[in-house]
Amino acid sequence: MTSPFYTAEHNAFRDVMRRFVEKEIEPFAHEWDEAGEFPRALYRKAAGIGLLGLGFPEEYGGIAADQFMKIVASQELARAGAGGISASLMSHTIGSPPIARAARPEVRARVLPQVLSGEKISALAITEPGGGSDVANLRTKARRDDDHYVVSGEKTFITSGMRADYLTVAVRTGGEGAGGVSLLLIEGDTPGLSRTKLKKMGWWASDTATLHFDECRVPVENLIGEEGQGFKIIMQNFNSERMGMAAGCTAFARVCLDEAIAYARERKTFGKPLAQHQVIRHKIVDMAQKVAASQAMLELLAWRLEQGESPVAEICMMKNQATQTMAFCASEAVQIFGGAGFMRGIKAERIYREVKVNAIGGGTEEIMKDLASRQMGL
């Protein structure tokens, strides 16, 4: 695939990423999915090629990266066809930006180098059992007690929740609504913190948890930003998160397309390869058309972000476009595989199980449409 947006530097990094995925992830993806986890050593290996540091300040071990470098990273990871591995390995991309952006200097200096080197794991904890994406009305409370906050409440559906060393947690320090929300960095060994592992439809290799905070004492210096400013900091995360999800989903759709093409050329029915049946060729072209359209939209939005724009409505639509493309291509790939597509072990089957988490996480399709319509003045 050629594109005017990628430089020699982007392509060199793509080569590094592709070798990394082919050696360190792809051969083990099915095994790790069945086991429900992957080795912590993978974080250090990912840090070794610069993956974990992309876009973070260089003074803490980060690497300068534009939107297209991040697309390369997301899309090369997706080639393994294992969204759970990508989600947990990269959970710091939603957990650590608030730290880099708004934590106290001494906290940044202590935490970020450990995360970006792969020694520690960072996660974001926003969603609550009764709240979903309604961030402004979260209920987990943090009351001030001298030089600590005392935190009580629950978070759920937290990616890397079981083994995260650092949790960026949204809490209520003030009154009702967005203005009462703050962010705290809560360390994984804090007394009163307990975790419950969740079983999921897909993303099996990603540990996902409900977190329970029972009078957890958190030092006041772990406040991220100012009291009452947490909602604004959380919102700043969303453009990046949704672009990353859109890049990954588009690439997962392409994996399904590639697998379907390879299988259709090899598998014979009624005396000829599947690819020589018109109905199969039409399915493949429909898949290719949707992937190409999604990739073009993604790259144009990335370019606009690089120009300093903040096209929120289009990013919301892009997230929906990509997840719908992934859903279509996963379904068609499994259909082309027939009975073999229903068997565990192939990428298309794994991706098919992961469709819904992408359409829900980072904001559901319905929320994306509502946000986009508001940005359009409707």
In a domain, residue 247? The reply is yes
183 three-state secondary structure: strand
- 73 pLDDT above the threshold of 70: yes
Side-chain-side CA neighbours of 218 within 13 Å: the count stands at 31
Q: Which of 181, 212, 231 is the last residue of a domain?
A: 231
What pLDDT is attached to residue 197?
97
Q: Which of 12-26, 226-240, 277-291 has the lowest mean pLDDT?
A: 226-240
Q: Model confidence over 134-173: pLDDT tens digits?
A: 788 899 999 999 999 999 999 999 999 999 999 999 999 9
Inter-helix orientation angle 230-266/278-306, to 10° = 150
Q: Model confidence over 330-374: pLDDT tens digits?
A: 999 999 999 999 999 899 999 999 999 999 999 899 999 999 999
Average pLDDT over every residue of 296-317: 96
In a domain, residue 1? The reply is no
Domain identity same for 242 and 203: no
Domain identity same for 12 and 137: no
In a domain, residue 71? The reply is yes
Angle at 268 between CA 265 and CA 271, to 5 degrees: 125
Closest CA to 359 of 240, 236, 249, 197: 249
Average pLDDT over every residue of 280-290: 98
Residue whose tokens read 């106290």? 104
Domain identity same for 262 and 221: no
- 131 pLDDT above the threshold of 80: no
What pLDDT is attached to residue 133?
67
Task: Please report which confidence band the pLDDT of residue 1 belongs to, taking 50, 70 and 90 as the band edges.
Answer: low
Q: Model confidence over 241-262: pLDDT tens digits?
A: 999 999 999 999 999 999 999 9
**Separation CA 292–CA 23 (nearest Å):** 27
Tell which wins on pLDDT, 238 or 167.
167
What pLDDT is attached to residue 238?
86
**Separation CA 350–CA 30 (nearest Å):** 9
Q: Which of 86, 101, 117 is the last residue of a domain?
A: 117
The mean pLDDT value of the chain amounts to 96
**Separation CA 202–CA 209 (nearest Å):** 14
Q: Which of 211, 231, 251 is the last residue of a domain?
A: 231
CB atoms within 10 A of CB 283: 22
Domain identity same for 247 and 363: yes
**Separation CA 29–CA 38 (nearest Å):** 9
What pLDDT is attached to residue 52?
98
What pLDDT is attached to residue 82?
97
What pLDDT is attached to residue 135?
85
What pLDDT is attached to residue 134?
78
Domain identity same for 169 and 79: no
In a domain, residue 3? The reply is no
Domain identity same for 326 and 368: yes
**Separation CA 168–CA 233 (nearest Å):** 11
Domain identity same for 227 and 291: no
Domain identity same for 127 and 216: yes
- Cβ–Cβ under 8 Å, residues 63 and 240: no
Instruction: Indicate which CATH number applies to the domain containing 342.
Output: 1.20.140.10
The residues annotated as belonging to the active site are 241
Domain identity same for 255 and 222: no
What pLDDT is attached to residue 100?
97
Inter-helix orientation angle 8-20/67-78, to 10° = 30
Closest CA to 121 of 54, 180, 168: 168
**Separation CA 252–CA 81 (nearest Å):** 6
Domain identity same for 133 and 247: no
In a domain, residue 22? The reply is yes
As for how many domains the chain has, the answer is 3
**Separation CA 236–CA 238 (nearest Å):** 6
Q: Model confidence over 40-53: pLDDT tens digits?
A: 999 999 999 999 99
Average pLDDT over every residue of 71-85: 98
Mention every residue, 6+ apart, whose C-beta is less than 8 A from residue 364. Answer: 133
Q: Which domain holds residue 70?
A: 8-117
DSSP assignment of 42-109: HHHHHHHTTSTTBTS-GGGT-B---HHHHHHHHHHHHTT--HHHHHHHTTHHHHSHHHHHHS-HHHHH
**Separation CA 154–CA 39 (nearest Å):** 27
Query: Would you state the structure tokens that stand for residue 145, as one six-digit string?
Result: 């007690």
Task: Please report which confidence band the pLDDT of residue 236 belongs to, taking 50, 70 and 90 as the band edges.
Answer: confident
What pLDDT is attached to residue 221?
97
